[in-house]
Amino acid sequence: MVLATNLGFPRLGTQRELKWAIEKYWSGKSSQVELEKTARELCERHWKLQRYLGLDHIPSNDFSLYDHVLDMALMVGAVPPRFHIDQDLASLRVYFAMARGLQDPAARLDIAAQEMTKWFDTNYHYIVPEFTEDQHFHLNSTKVIEQFREARALSIDTRPVLLGPVSFLLLGKMSGNSSVSPLDLLPRLLPVYGQVLKGLEIAGGDWIQMDEPCLVLDLAPEAQQAFQSAYASLVSSVPRLRLLVATYFGELRQNLRTALSLPIAAIHLDLVRAPDQLEAVLPEVPSSMALSLGVVDGRNIWRTDLDRAMLLIRKAVAKLGADRVLLAPSCSLLHVPVDLELEDQLEAGIKQWLAFGKQKLQEIRALADDANGDKEKAEEAFRESRKAVKSRASSPLIHDPVVKQQLQAIQPGMTKRPSPYAERYPKQNGILKLPLFPTTTIGSFPQTHEVRAVRSEFRAGKRDRASYEKFLREEIARAIRIQEELGLDVLVQGEFERNDMVEYFGEKLRGFAFTHHGWVQSYGTRAVKPPIIFGDISRPEPMTVAWAKYAQSLTPKPVKGMLTGPVTMLQWSFVRDDQPRSVTCKQIALAMRGEVMDLEGAGIRVIQIDEPAIREGLPLRRKDWNEYLQWAVEAFRLASSGVNDLTQIHSHMCYSEFNDIMDSITAMDADVLSIEASRSRMEILQAFGQFRYPNGIGPGVYDIHSPRVPGQSEIEALLRKACEVLDPRQVWVNPDCGLKTRNWQEVRPALMAMVEAARRVRAARDN
């Protein structure tokens, strides 16, 4: 019998219950007991829903209070020494300190958080494990076993999920200048995994899901060997357990033989991202191994073409037999919202094309029913699928001939600035008159409770537009005044009118649709509602010009115009899958180009076009990079190159490894690039120094993802470190990212310290 399974369920809850519970706990307004109660209730609700939907394998331990990679680090005792603040190293205080840092003056604690980076090519962020040469692993947390038992107490047998040992090590990093690689630690790590698996076996476990997404990367021979030795060891220690190794986000390619040689019960394939790999796998799969087919998209929100999915399923069943086939989403449903039924304001024509987490599990159940011969039970789902596919293909909502004409009219000169940076820089400096180490912020200021409440009142029709805009003008004026008092050199208007850096612009562009409950976790308690790109994109009218112009009227200092770049708009949306992503990105770039030129026409001399997702969008396999980088860089240049030499273009990028794409970053030709650098203590700058990056660069000196307030001497030390690899004339001084999620009590002293640090480093250079 073909089984209906799931790899993972969204954690936050339909109303973001987990977010509110954690933030209430952080603020001291609730206890650990109350937080844990909310977490148990969410797990129970999700397990029961999946049982109700008829799944044969329901995941457990896919739930996390912050991040599943951090959970694994805690489980195996990979707690860096600076976090040894409690006797219990699995305490919530230790856990959240690793994620967010900890500043407790009363206890004389001031601890920086661990690094955070993107989970493969998604917008989810994970906490990077830290290892040392003398790393000792031990069983520090039994959460995975406890959650399995909690589900069993509800008469629900689950398939526990663990991040596999090889991927866990490959996703981590060694502290300091170590001659040891993370994979060298595998023999020390495996006994702890063995303990966990033994504990699950004793608790009554049967199937165990081991996520090994690194199997879709370009792996060195030693990594391939590590997979073989790791699973030989684990399977021999618990022969009665059935291990399913889950790969996702791509295809196995040269790792196929390694994966199929593992002594495991089943392997999961992403057949949404890489449907063709089934042809390569079927002839090679051992007779002892089952296949889990990821035929429903776990990354996007479009309804599955069930007939197309059945072609793959029938092919697998014909070769292997029904008992060796499992059906699943392509990856964990962590990356999609929970339930489409909650969206009562989406246009019906668009809503019928969509499926969220709950609906995707219904699709999997329908596919399994059909594969098992129960076609009558599955018929309604197939009928609705065919109806949606036909409607979407012919809908007039999708295609705009004017946009297509604009694309055809693009000329090569539209992607080049009039002059090279070396000629632009002195012209801009003559206008802006900025000091050495100019200070600025990335764009947003705290979205206080009052700001959110007033915006909600306006959206709900409880406040008229005149009153709302008056409030926004007051907030902008206050932000400008604060920045002037702090002594910042290039100011921002604060973005108080914006709910989200992508959603805000999407609401003003044609071709986007929006949800009210479509929340997706980005990191920790940070949730976003990705817009849905369903059709051709265009800009009906200016989007930010009036607010930028107003802010600039309040001060003689330059105020940045703030836009989100085309690649980030693409990456952080649910993107249409009926045309190449490059075409959609170019449409967004044309829309943003118009906004950039309107800002320049309004007298805005500094314009920031944020591209925090450009590295995130890089394909997982190196041989696929060039094509992506070519159209991604072209899209940024198309958006930014219509201005004259006097207008300074900035861009911002998030946590990323830049070493391998420095040519492309340089080719973007932004006058100033700001990057997140504080958590890595400026290590990330080595790539820019070695490459001799020619333009201005602002390495972040203040980690905004932590409530911790940095001191002036700490920031000064980071700036001096930056000057060791960069020409001081290149260096800008800024926080890691926007300050939207922080509060003013944290932001004011942090920026004050930042400005003072810049002054001191500047004075030292002048002397």
432 alpha carbon, distance to own chain's centre: 35
The CA-based dihedral angle spanning residues 738, 741, 747, 753, taken in that order and rounded to the nearest 10 degrees: -50
Please answer whether residues 66 and 179 qualify as being in contact, where contact means their C-beta atoms are separated by less than 8 angstroms. no
* CB within 8 Å of 7: residues ≥ 6 apart: 59, 62, 161, 209, 211, 246, 248, 268, 294, 298, 328, 329, 331, 332, 333
Strands (DSSP E) contained in 67-206 are: 102-104, 109-111, 116-118, 125-127, 130-131, 158-163, 173-174
3-state helix vs strand vs coil in the chain, percent to 5: 45, 15, 40
Q: Is 705 annotated in the active site?
A: yes
Q: Among the options 57, 125, 652, 705, which is catalytic?
A: 705
Degrees to nearest 5, angle at CA 533 with 675 and 656: 20
**What number of other Cβ atoms are within 10 A of residue 57's Cβ?**
21
Nearest-angstrom CA–CA distance, 476 and 401: 39
Which residues are bridge partners to 607 per DSSP?
561, 649
- Number of C-alpha atoms within 13 angstroms, CB side, residue 342? 15
Which pair of structure tokens corresponds to residue 498? 């914006």
Write down how long the chain is. Answer: 767
- Number of C-alpha atoms within 13 angstroms, CB side, residue 351? 13
Nearest-angstrom CA–CA distance, 5 and 206: 14
* CB within 8 Å of 652: residues ≥ 6 apart: 442, 443, 608, 610, 611, 612, 673, 674, 675, 737
Nearest-angstrom CA–CA distance, 477 and 640: 28
**What number of other Cβ atoms are within 10 A of residue 352's Cβ?**
15
Which pair of structure tokens corresponds to residue 221? 């021979």
What's the one-letter identity of residue 584?
T
Nearest-angstrom CA–CA distance, 477 and 473: 6
Q: Read out DSSP for 513-559?
A: E--SS--EEEETTEEE---EEEEEEE-SS-SSHHHHHHHHHT-SS-B
SS in 3 state form for 433-494?
Answer: CCCCCCECCCCECCCCHHHHHHHHHHHCCCCCHHHHHHHHHHHHHHHHHHHHHHCCCCECCE
**Residues annotated as catalytic (active site), given as ranges:** 705
